[in-house]
Structure 1
């Protein structure tokens, strides 16, 4: 006798999952499980558990928003710093051409003081970047 199949509904799966296992966690284990699950990026907790249980590799991608913001702002600052360096020689040439020697020297002295301040600031930025990198590498371990 042939089975009559309805035209509605899902097609039956070739390998249906029929066995169920229940796991109970205490609060600490549950929190640890949830943090691992969220970091994994897997769409379902059951899929995450099966992959973890059977040793299938899964990727944990973490994006530190503060680190991304920091590098974006650092890149913007570097662009501005390069623009200042590019214009520096042009400013010195214009000072020589359009001002008397005494006035040009006074303006060059001011320019030199501001340049020294920029160098100090750039060294401070490099030091802060090193500290941030050291902190970030400690977090990732």
Structure 2
């Protein structure tokens, strides 16, 4: 039963997809640099997602008034780190797009 009451929460990330490397590009050094950096970011996101899931599990399993604020602070820190990594991936993609556009324009001339 998906999405109904009593359904198990899904993990923050799908380990099978995040741990599998993005295919390596052949020939284009810009694309290869992008894919190497992208794989590094994916590995970091996977580690942070794992930490995030552990904190959520601890909150759900060992809910204590004394521990809750600390666990919430940890979740906030993980969320900030995930946001930062997401922004870095977006910036990396923007840079690749600019480099690619410059390459395409230079090749047409």
TM category (shorter chain) comes to 0.5 to 0.7
Alignment RMSD (CA, Å): 2.4
- Match for residue 45 of structure 2? 85
- Match for residue 139 of structure 1? 106
Partner residue of 1:105 out of 52, 72, 92: 72
Q: Deviations over 1:72-131 (max 9, x none)?
A: 321121112222333334212322428822111101111111211112211111111111
**TM-score for the superposition, normalised by structure 2:** 0.56
Relative contact order: is structure 1 or structure 2 higher (C-alpha 8 Å, sep ≥ 6)?
Answer: 2
Paired residue total: 75
Query: Taking structure 1 as reference, are residues 78 and 117 closer, same or farther at Cα in structure 2, changes over 3 Å only?
Result: same
Which protein shows a greater Rg? 1
- Match for residue 117 of structure 1? 84
**Unaligned runs of at least 5 residues, structure 1:** 1-64
**TM-score for the superposition, normalised by structure 1:** 0.45
- Match for residue 14 of structure 2? none
